[in-house]
Structure 1
Amino acid sequence: MRIAMWSGPRNLSTAMMYSFGNRADFAIWDEPFYAPYLSQTGLDHPMRAEILAAHETDAAKVAARCLDTIPAQKLHFYMKHMPHHMIDGMPLDWAQGCVNVHLIRHPARVIASYGVKRSQMTFDDIGYAQQAALFDRIGGHVIDSADIRADPETMLRNLCVAIGLDFDPAMLSWPAGPRADDGIWAAHWYNAVHQSTGFAGAEGPLPELDGEAAKLCEQALPYYERLAVAKIV
């Protein structure tokens, strides 16, 4: 099985990658299209130069690897993808060979978390419109990060049932620290998850936003709500 897990940033996506990566039968791949996205857009993201130097920037080669032999002779392949990386002209036909899952999170939480790591953000950076468009195009399953954090075992079991995969208790925890499979950007973005050994507990009240952050949330909310209707429960 090849799983393409689609999510915006600050969305439990790295914890989910570690969850599947802790299974003995899964290889993982961290944001394969990030370097092609930066190369083609010219955007100035944290660690841009390091990312372009360390990772494949040719989108066609990345797409081919998505369907190539699974690394490390593993039975299954988990790929962490971001919809906003798939700009016009980026290959997407490979996704037809994958089980597509869309990981969502309330935009107020995403925007509050993203702002801690990158003070300047645009609507495109958080990926809600792109994720809704991708879901309309390729379909797939939807799961909400809040539901996972509230009850990890139940939701991961439900996800496994939905996609036809046996549940493995190894998904519920992982060793602290970085992974060899982390993208080089982990040094900037993954400090919290590197300190974790499992999913954090249920989230509290939504953060209060104001100014531009509140406007971004208002813009993103309809896309989140549209996907949330389809989520696994």
Structure 2
Amino acid sequence: MDMPRHETGRSQTRVMLWSTPRALSTAFLRSIHTLDKCEIFNEPFMTAWHFGPERKYQPNKLISFLIGCEENYSYQWIKEQLEREYVDKDVVFCKDFAYAIDGNWDAIPKGYKHTFLIRDPSKVMKSWKERINCGPLPGMGLIWKRSVSFAMPPGYMYEELHDLFIHLRDTTGEAPLILDADDLLADPKQMMRKYCKAVGLTYREEMLHWEPEEKMKWHVAYSNLIADKIMGWYSDAMNSDGIRQKSKRSRVDMDSLPDDVREVVKFVQPFYDVLYNERLRLDCDIVDSHATFVKLKDQNENAFILPEKEISDDGRTH
């Protein structure tokens, strides 16, 4: 893929990072934020899916009152912003969630290197359920009792992530780079070096350490900031001081998870496994000899049972 160039003739690196919520993607964006001359976009397509004029999700009355509609955030407008010239920047970087593209393939911006950040779905879904039930005040979870499927797309984020990967691979002729969150935590320096080399960024030691900071100079919608104030979506990453290495990989005890979380993990696990087999590997990893690309939706539909969703009067899924 040819990289855009400055008017001065210098090349400019443009990167998309596709992920799911609760997969360390905001911490990863904090790392990218340490680079000089970097233009950063945070979840514009997610804003379109939840709060834009073409939104697929109908928020509850409280959220609608606080946020309203992000009229600018059409899919076409977002594409135009991402494809604009940023002549004084060496890097243009956007982090977003794959489900938010919602099949609008024409909205995917041109001139970008596409990458994916994935995470074990048992960890993602466990964290997701905890977050959507914590609320801004102590005890809110006792009132809300939200199912893990709350505000989810039909494929529970992982099917959409898989489908976007397949689409990009088939249309560009190049398999997007995949980074796994557990690999990143196992050896942050090695994985960030590998990632930067693969996408054309200059690795710096500062990418692993930073000062906690609440306000970032990113392109981010007002609705995202309000949602963060209510739910604390970004708080862990903003209050962090770097990506810390974990000496031992943790595992989630599936038997300890609520029934709704286990059912969703069971549904999305095959999609994650396909992506995991194609990830950028640590030097100590043993390569799987049988890793193949699979169109999961073409398999026996009875193999994976989608947990039913209940729709309340205000349009929320539970």
TM-score scaled by structure 1?
0.90
C-alpha separation in 1, matches of 2:86 and 2:17: 16
Pick which of 183-192 and 200-209 moved more. 200-209
Structure 1: tracts of 5 or more residues without a match: none
**1:49 positional shift:** 5.2
Residue 166 (structure 2) pairs with residue 120 (structure 1): no
**What's the counterpart of residue 122 of structure 2?**
108
**What's the counterpart of residue 225 of structure 1?**
273
Cα separation, partners in 2 of 1:81 and 1:58, compared to 1, 3 Å: same
C-alpha separation in 2, matches of 1:48 and 1:34: 16
C-alpha separation in 2, matches of 1:80 and 1:49: 27
Amino acid at match of 2:129: G
Which structure ranks higher in relative contact order (CA pairs < 8 Å, sequence separation ≥ 6)? Answer: 1
Residue 97 (structure 2) pairs with residue 67 (structure 1): no
**1:55 positional shift:** 7.4
C-alpha separation in 2, matches of 1:207 and 1:166: 38
**What's the counterpart of residue 238 of structure 2?**
194
Of residues 192, 217, 220, the one that matches 1:156 is: 192
Judging by fraction of residues, say which structure has more helix: 1
C-alpha separation in 2, matches of 1:79 and 1:50: 26
Pick which of 148-157 and 120-129 moved more. 120-129
**What's the counterpart of residue 129 of structure 1?**
159
Residue 16 (structure 2) pairs with residue 4 (structure 1): yes
C-alpha separation in 2, matches of 1:66 and 1:51: 23
**1:151 positional shift:** 1.0
2:14/2:112 contact within 8 Å kept:
yes
Structure 2: tracts of 5 or more residues without a match: 1-12, 133-145, 170-175, 282-318
C-alpha separation in 2, matches of 1:136 and 1:33: 19
3-state SS in 1 of match to 2:197: helix
Deviations 1:60-82 (A, max 9, x none): 111111111238x3210110111
**1:224 positional shift:** 0.6
Deviations 1:41-72 (A, max 9, x none): 1432795555555673222111111111238x
* Two-structure CA RMSD over aligned residues (Å): 2.2
1:59/1:90 contact within 8 Å kept:
no
Q: Percent identity?
A: 21
3-state SS in 2 of match to 1:130: helix
C-alpha separation in 1, matches of 2:253 and 2:238: 23
Pick which of 188-197 and 7-16 moved more. 188-197
2:212/2:238 contact within 8 Å kept:
yes
3-state SS in 1 of match to 2:40: strand
Cα separation, partners in 2 of 1:228 and 1:68, compared to 1, 3 Å: same
3-state SS in 2 of match to 1:33: helix
**What's the counterpart of residue 13 of structure 1?**
25
**1:167 positional shift:** 1.1
Deviations 1:14-61 (A, max 9, x none): 001110011113221100112211232143279555555567322211
1:149/1:199 contact within 8 Å kept:
yes
C-alpha separation in 2, matches of 1:51 and 1:15: 25
Cα separation, partners in 2 of 1:55 and 1:160, compared to 1, 3 Å: farther
Deviations 1:134-167 (A, max 9, x none): 0001131100011111111110001112223221
3-state SS in 1 of match to 2:126: helix
C-alpha separation in 2, matches of 1:170 and 1:49: 40
Pick which of 189-198 and 217-226 moved more. 189-198
Cα separation, partners in 2 of 1:21 and 1:116, compared to 1, 3 Å: same
C-alpha separation in 1, matches of 2:276 and 2:122: 15
3-state SS in 1 of match to 2:153: helix
Cα separation, partners in 2 of 1:49 and 1:2, compared to 1, 3 Å: farther
C-alpha separation in 2, matches of 1:52 and 1:4: 27
C-alpha separation in 2, matches of 1:79 and 1:49: 28
Larger Rg: 2
